[in-house]
Amino acid sequence: MKRAILVVTVALAMMPVCGAGPAAAARPAEPAQRLVQAIVVLTAQVDPSTVKAPNRRQRGATLERTLRATADTAQKSVLELLRKRQAQGLVTTIDPLWIFNGISVTAAPSVIRELAARPDVRRIDPEVTIQAPVLPRATATAETGPPPPEPNVALVNAPALWNLGFRGQGVVVANMDTGVDGSHPDLAGRWRGGNNSWYDPYGQHPTVPTDVNGHGTATMGVMVGGDAGGTSIGMAPDARWIAVKMFNDRGAATSTAIHRGFQWLLDPDGNPDTADAPDVVNDSWTSSAGGCNLDFQPDLAMLRAAGILPVFSAGNYGPTAGTVLSPANNPEAFAVGSTDLADVIDPSSSRGPSACGQPVVPRAVAPGVNVRTTDLYGLYTTASGTSLAAPHVSGALALLLSAFPDLPADRQAAALEGGAADLGPGGPDNDYGYGRLDAFAAYQWLSTMPDFTTSVSPSTATTTPGGTATYTVSVAGVNGFTGPVTLSLAGLSAAQATWSFTPAVISGGSGSARLDVTTAAGLAPGSYRLTLTGTSGSTRRSAYATLVIPAQPNFTVAVAPASATVPAGDTTTYTVTVGALNGFTGNVGLSLTGLPGGVGSSAFNPTSVATAGSSQLTVTTLATAPPGTYPLTVTGTSGSLSRTATVMLTVTARDFTLSASPSAVTVSRGQTASYTVSAGSVGGFAGSVTLSVTGLPAGASATFSTNPVGTPGTSTLRVRTTSSTPRASFTVIVIGTAGALVHQVPVTLTVR
């Protein structure tokens, strides 16, 4: 669905112990011409389920090559148009993206509308502005003696994996945040280094890891921090880190920078032949707007396809239900809520259900209350919020990937959920998700637990209203799983579509089924997220797909001017313009209704318009047309499609005016009084007016110098009195007659 441009403000999910409000975002001065920043999402997109490779590393390289090739091919004509408009001064920035097939642009609204009408453009997304809160440093300390132990790391059983020799070695973690203080003693030695380990899309700190806020430094400390302060503060102390400085130094980020950050994470050095993508990505930020926003869903889908599970903080908008916001509520994200050390949910931790259709959100919880971590200037801080809960999960993934290096993203999520310590009501719920993180239990689950995975191909299918889209749903058993798996679908109502699985139950733990989705004839154009769930006993595994109902080829009809005024008997014209939408190429026949036969007739030239163009509508009124205003409806028809536009026609009558000057004359008996009688034209009247008088006194007579008189024109009225004319004042009526039209004007004659 092609969407209008808007601005959304979102905020990071950290809530410090000593709260501080978010820093204000710097807004650049607007250019002289008002331009629009937008993300153009093209129709051709890579289906990640079709990308196959023998292991996670090779799958990432194959995926990247496919993404780049798709973007290079599909963007050519759009880029040509944008460069042409740039030469005209209508476009200022063009930024092609390949993590999904899209282009970031800053352009005039007319260009945005032009792009939206193209058949190779799927939709126009807004440029999002994101605000970063400042982490207060009231609790920052320099370590001078043995600090207290960090119970949050122990609570999630990270030390149990350390004891097995899994400390994150061989694993690279990344965060998308405010940056990282690369000089901190607990982080400096863990930076991977080189020109493929730090990305600042704003160019403010192009080579040296920097953080002027502290938020990103704090989240990185929970993931990989060491014991330089006297205690182990990080989950995976032997992992290496890289980072995207998603927020600029003023605490603001744009959606273009976020897209470029996700894209950089797939290939930091720009070479698909080198395996330098991170294994884990932590995103401790979330929007402040409700609902389901899928602007970053393509990025997250590609990360998962490359074997990277996108871990997000759930947000700090609890305890109200439905407050896990985008992108944390996207199906591809693994959202993490916050608990204290007593395993009680933090009141501020965001709660489900998901507006994007996930069965459970958050997916899990982790310690996020009074967490001690790294701060700026080599110091430490204690802070709270889901921003610090999420990196516990990301750090646990680093430990698991040390033990199971080729673990797919879906299996990573299943292990985290399967090993979680169930809290709250029995089973998954929308407060605690599957429970509190337990890294060691997740390791045991991966080692022993029979399980299955669910996948779907293609990830996106397109059909028309009333048409059928077909998917293949696959189930694969793990660790000897052989149970039956029942398939179900969510995301469409019974009024929107019908669907069937063949077979509905996959036996033996592995196999595939055909899913046919038949849409209703009246289903509105748009993208519909489908959740395909396999259930075996209490185990549920889901995969996600998109059903696209494209906007059908259509056309518009517009008429100018919106109204016209014409004297009866005259002709007026309108211009009828036909515009093409969504690749429309048909012929549009034109017709007019609303013009009575007694008023006039109409004609179009030409009578039909091919694809797009204009026609002249001529309306000829009758001389006898009754005056009035007539609404006319112009209808364009092409097959079953019909579009209308309404204009107004005002018909004025042809008429004349009559006046006399002076209005009063005084004479003595036997004298002559003179008046000038004027006839004027109304509505193009061009006839003659015959003049006469009534009301003359006895003994008086009247003559006109010109009779009849043309319009416009004048005639001198002379009234001759006699000696017998009575002395008095008389009202004399001057009468003008033209066919059925009659007007009169009084004058006064006084005889002395």
Residue 215 among the catalytic residues: yes
DSSP 199: E
User: Could you tell me if 664 and 730 lie in one domain?
Assistant: yes
Last residue of some domain: 414, 449, 484? 449
**Could you tell me if residue 223 is inside a domain?**
yes
The number of folded domains in the chain is 4
In which residue are the tokens 């273009």 written?
Answer: 256
CATH number of residue 679's parent domain: 2.60.40.10
DSSP 16: E
User: Could you tell me if 197 and 267 lie in one domain?
Assistant: yes
- Other CB atoms within a 10 A radius of the CB of residue 493 amount to 8
**Which segments in the chain show pLDDT lower than 50?**
1-32, 136-149
User: Could you tell me if 611 and 627 lie in one domain?
Assistant: yes
Last residue of some domain: 549, 577, 597? 549
**Could you tell me if residue 6 is inside a domain?**
no
User: Could you tell me if 441 and 567 lie in one domain?
Assistant: no
pLDDT in tens, 583-604: 889 999 999 999 999 999 999 9
Write down the catalytic residue from 215, 259, 295, 375: 215
pLDDT at 214: 94
**Could you tell me if residue 98 is inside a domain?**
no
- Identify the domain containing residue 529 by its residue range: 456-549
pLDDT at 526: 87
User: Could you tell me if 496 and 536 lie in one domain?
Assistant: yes
User: Could you tell me if 265 and 236 lie in one domain?
Assistant: yes
User: Could you tell me if 246 and 389 lie in one domain?
Assistant: yes
**Could you tell me if residue 225 is inside a domain?**
yes
pLDDT at 684: 77
* Residues 6 or more apart whose Cβ sits within 8 Å of residue 272: 61, 64, 65, 68
pLDDT at 133: 54
Residues found in the chain: 752
pLDDT at 331: 92
User: Could you tell me if 328 and 406 lie in one domain?
Assistant: yes
pLDDT at 56: 77
Residue 184 among the catalytic residues: no
User: Could you tell me if 530 and 567 lie in one domain?
Assistant: no
pLDDT at 380: 93
User: Could you tell me if 170 and 273 lie in one domain?
Assistant: yes
Last residue of some domain: 449, 470, 487? 449
User: Could you tell me if 643 and 666 lie in one domain?
Assistant: no
pLDDT at 378: 94
Residue 447 among the catalytic residues: no
pLDDT at 141: 46
**Could you tell me if residue 407 is inside a domain?**
yes
Distance CA 259, CA 215 (A): 20
Q: Assess contact for 642 and 665: CB atoms under 8 A.
A: no
**Could you tell me if residue 35 is inside a domain?**
no
DSSP 153: H
Q: How far is the first Cα of the chain from the last one, in angstroms, to the nearest whole number?
A: 89
* Residues 6 or more apart whose Cβ sits within 8 Å of residue 493: none
Write down the catalytic residue from 232, 348, 350, 387: 387
Q: Assess contact for 377 and 383: CB atoms under 8 A.
A: no
pLDDT in tens, 496-533: 999 999 999 999 999 999 999 999 998 988 889 898 98
Helix (H) or strand (E) holding 715: strand 713-720
Distance CA 186, CA 197 (A): 17
Q: Assess contact for 112 and 36: CB atoms under 8 A.
A: yes
**Could you tell me if residue 75 is inside a domain?**
no
Write down the catalytic residue from 49, 104, 177, 410: 177
Q: Assess contact for 529 and 546: CB atoms under 8 A.
A: yes
CATH number of residue 211's parent domain: 3.40.50.200
pLDDT at 139: 46
Tell me how far CA of residue 748 lies from CA of 151, 673, 680, 729, 737, in angstroms.
Answer: 112, 10, 22, 7, 21
**Could you tell me if residue 533 is inside a domain?**
yes
User: Could you tell me if 159 and 270 lie in one domain?
Assistant: yes
